[in-house]
Amino acid sequence: MLKNAFISIAVIASLSACTQLQTANEKNQPKNLLFVNKELNTKPINVQRDEKLCDEEKDNNKDCPIKFYIDDFKAGDFYINNATTYYLKPNEYVLSVKNCKEECKTYHTKLIIDEQFQNVNIVLSLDNDDRPFIINKKS
């Protein structure tokens, strides 16, 4: 009887430790990411940032991310040479980029995905005035 009680306590303690460890690991992982899971009827959108830095920004001090949005949902912060693939269902989307150095600057463009949609490679960049923009390279 005492042996069964001891085993039950050991099992409960180990389950509790596993739950605490899992909770700690979940805090180190990003959550609520949108558009990155390949699902049925989705089309890949490859997004990357080029090597252009903001004015007065050094290569080892990359503190000028371009914030990327899909239909007003923040989809990621892109530093130079960052890249990822998003998966979108057929629809019309508004893609936006922002960077907020001294003055917040925004650029919008539309992307229409239909059944005949081909792969798209999107490049995020900055113009000479540090305004972000999107280059749509269809393949």
For 31-67, how does the pLDDT look when each residue is reduced to its tens digit (9 = 90+)?
445 688 788 888 999 999 998 887 666 656 666 788 8
Whether the predicted pLDDT of 106 surpasses 70: yes
Whether the predicted pLDDT of 96 surpasses 90: yes
pLDDT band, residue 70 (cuts 50/70/90): very high
Place of tokens 């909770």: 23
Residue 20: beta bridge partners? none
pLDDT band, residue 25 (cuts 50/70/90): very low
For the segment 56-81, the average pLDDT, to the nearest whole number, is 81
Check if the beta carbon of residue 75 is closer than 8 Å to that of residue 30. Answer: no
> In a 3-state reduction of DSSP, which class is residue 71?
coil
Q: What is the length of the chain?
A: 139
Place of tokens 């923040």: 74
